[in-house]
Structure 1
Amino acid sequence: MKKYLEVAKVYLKVKLMWRADLIFGFISIVMKIIFASLLWGVIFRDKETVAGFTQNSMMAYYLLSAFFTQIDISEKISGDITLGIRNGTFTKYMAVPMDTDKYFLAMEAGSILPHIVLDVAAIFLIGLVFGIKIDITSDVAIILCALLIAFLGLLFMAQLSYFLGILTFRFEEISTFLMIKQNIMALITGSIIPLALLPEMVVKCMQILPFYYTAYLPSMLLIGRNGEEAVGGMFVMLGWNLGIWLLSRNVYSRYRVKYDGAGI
C-alpha cells in the first residue's frame, strides 16, 4: 500500500508543477456554466419549471454535474498506456514491483486531488457570480450515498481507461474505442441535458450503464432528487467495478506475455 501512496504523491507533485492544466479546467467549468445559463435562461423565460426543475435548481444541477465531469481526468491513462506500448516503453511499468492496474489507479488518485480542490472553489465562485443557490439536500445518508457513487464512478472510469489502454496489446489503434466511449458519455452522463428531460423508457435503459452514475445521479441526489435510486446505484457501480477489474486482469494476463517491448 505504501508504494502506491508514493506513486500518488509523485503525480500530485507533477500536477502541481503543471498548473496550466488546473487553470484550463477552471476555465472549462466557467464556459459550461455560461453556456448553460444562456440556454436555460431562454427556455425559462416563459416558464416557471421544466420537468420539475426551476431555473435555479437547473443551474445548480449543471454546476454539480460540471464538477463531477471535470474531475474525471482518467483519459490520460489510456493515452499513457497506448503510447508506452506503441513506443516499447511500457516495460518500465511491467518491471516495477507493482500491479500495473494499481499503479495507474494511484497515478489517477494523485493527479485528481488538485482538480477536486480547485473545482470545488470554482463552483462556489461561479455560484456567487451567477447568483446560483445550490440547495444541497439535508439528508446525510443521501449525501454519503451520492459521494460514494461518485467515487465508484471515478474508480470505474479509471479502470475503463486502463482497460482501453491495454487493448493496444491486441489492436494497433484504439482511437475508435475512445471515440465510442466519449460519445456515450456525452449523452448518458447528463452533461449536455439532464436525463430527466428524456423519455422514461430511455432513462430506464441508461440506468443499466455505469455512465449514468458518474455525474448525473450524484448531482441529482445532492439536489434532493432521485433518492430512491441511491442504494441501488451503489450496488450497480460495485458490480461494474468488479466486472471491469476482472476483464482487465484477464486481458492483461493474456496479452502481456506476447508483448516483446519493441516500439513501432
Structure 2
Amino acid sequence: MRKYLEIIKIFIKTQLAWRGDAVIQTLFTLTKILFACLLWGTIFKDRDEVAGFTINSMLSYYIISSFLRQLDMSSRVSGEISQRIRNGTFSKYMVLPVNIQGYFIAMEMGIVLFYLFLDFMTSVLWIIVFRIRLVFVSDPAALLEAAVLILLGLFFMIQLNYYLGLLTLKYEEIGTFLMIKDNLVAFVTGSIIPLALLPEGFVTVMKAFPFYYVTYLPSMLLIGRLKGELGMGLLVLSCWCVILQAVIHVTWHNYRIKYDGVGI
C-alpha cells in the first residue's frame, strides 16, 4: 500500500510542475458552462420547465456534470500505455515492483486529487459569476451515496482506458478506438445534454450499460432527482467493473507475449 501512496504523491507533484494544464482545464470548464448558460437561457426564455428541469436545476446539472467529467482524467492512461508500447518503453512498468494496473490506478488517483480542489473552486467561481442559484441536495446520506457511485464510475473509466491501452499489444494503432470512445462517452454519459431529454426507449436501453451511471445518474442524484435508481446503479456498475476486470485479465494474459519492446 505504501508503494501506491508514493505513486499518488509523485503524480500530485507532477501536476504542480505542469501548471499550464491546470489553466487549460479551467478554461474548458468555463467554455462548457458558458455555452450551457447561453443555450438554456434562450430555451427557458419563453418557458418555466423543460423535461422536469427549471433553468436553475438545468444549469446546476451542467455545473455538477462538468465537475465530474473534469475529474475523469483516465484518458491519459490509455494514451500513456499506447505510447509506451509503441516506442518500446512499456518495459518500464513491467519491471516495477508493483501491479501494472495498480500503478495506473494510483496515477489516476494522484491526478484526480490534484484537480478535485481546483475543479471545485472553478465551479464555485462560475456559480458566482453567472449568479446561478445552485440546486443541490443537503442530505448527508444522499451525498455519501452519490460519492460512492462517483468513485465506482471513476474506477470503471480507469479500467476501460487501461483495457484500450492494452489493445496496443495486438493493434499497433488504437487511435480509432480512442476517438470512438471519447465521442461516445461524451454523449452517453449525459455530458453534452441530460439523458432525460432523449427518447424514453433510448434511456431505458442505456440503463443496462455502465455509462448511464458514470456521470448522468450521480449528477441527477446531487440535484435531488432519480433517488430510486441508486441501488440499481451500484449493482449494474459493479457488475460491469467485474466483467471488465475479467476481460482485462484475459487480454493481458494473451497479448503480453506479443510485446517485444526493449529498454526502460
Instruction: Identify whether the pair has TM-score above 0.5, normalized to the shorter chain.
Output: yes
**CA-CA distance at 1:262 after TM superposition:** 4.6
TM-superposed CA distance for 1:63, in Å, is 0.2
Q: In 2, are the aligned partners of 1:142 and 1:230 still within 8 Å (CA)?
A: no
Measured in 2, the distance between the counterparts of 1:193 and 1:186 equals 9
Matched residues in 1 for 2:233 and 2:77: separation?
A: 25
Partners in 2 of 1:112 and 1:16 — Cα distance? 13
Does the 8 A contact of 1:169 with 1:255 survive in 2? yes
Matches of 1:113 and 1:17 in 2, distance apart?
15
Name the residue aligned to 1:14: 14
Distance 1:72 1:22 in 2: 14
CA deviation map 1:65-112 (0-9, x unaligned): 000011111111111101110111000100111111001111111111
Distance (whole Å) between structure 2 residues aligned to residue 200 and residue 262 of structure 1 = 52
Q: Over residues 166-220 of structure 1, what are the superposed CA-to-partner deviations in whole Å (9 max), with x where a residue is unaligned?
A: 1000111111111121121121111111111111111011111111111111010
- Does structure 2 conserve the Cα–Cα contact (< 8 Å) formed by 1:48 and 1:54? yes
**Aligned pairs (5 A) from 1:96-175:** 96-175=96-175
Q: Which residue of structure 2 aligns with residue 83 of structure 1?
A: 83
In the other structure, the counterpart of 2:233 is: 233
In structure 2, what residue type is equivalent to 1:18?
Answer: W
SS in 1 for 2:51: coil
Amino acid paired to 1:156: F
Alignment partners' CA distance in 2, 1:217 and 1:35: 22
The answer (yes or no) to whether the contact 2:149–2:218 under 8 Å persists in 1 is yes
What is the match of residue 243 of structure 2? 243
- Whole-Å separation in 1 of the counterparts to 2:101 and 2:79: 14
**Counterpart-to-counterpart distance in 1, 2:221 and 2:166:** 34
RMSD of aligned alpha carbons: 1.2
* CA offsets 1:117-176 (integer angstroms, 9 cap, x no match): 100001111101111122212333322121111111111111111100010001111111
Cα distance in 1, alignment partners of residues 65 and 259 from structure 2: 40
Query: What is the SS of the residue equivalent to 1:133?
Result: coil
Structure 1 distance, partners of 2:192, 2:258, is 41
Shift in Å at residue 257 of structure 1? Answer: 2.3
Scaled by the length of structure 2, the TM-score of the pair is 0.97
The residue identity in structure 2 corresponding to 1:141 is A
Aligned to 2:256: 256
TM-score by length of 1: 0.97
The aligned counterpart of 1:34 is: 34
Structure 1 runs of 4+ with >3 Å offset:
none
Gaps of 5+ in 1: none
Alpha-carbon distance between aligned partners in 1 of 2:56 and 2:17, rounded to the nearest angstrom: 37
Give the Cα–Cα distance (whole angstroms) in 2 for the partners of residues 148 and 134 of structure 1.
22
State the match for 1:58 in structure 2.
58
Aligned to 2:187: 187
Quote the Cα distance in structure 2 between the aligned partners of 1:111 and 1:245.
Answer: 22
What CA distance in whole angstroms lies between the structure 2 residues aligned with 1:2 and 1:181?
33
Conservation of the 8 A alpha-carbon contact between 1:213 and 1:237: yes
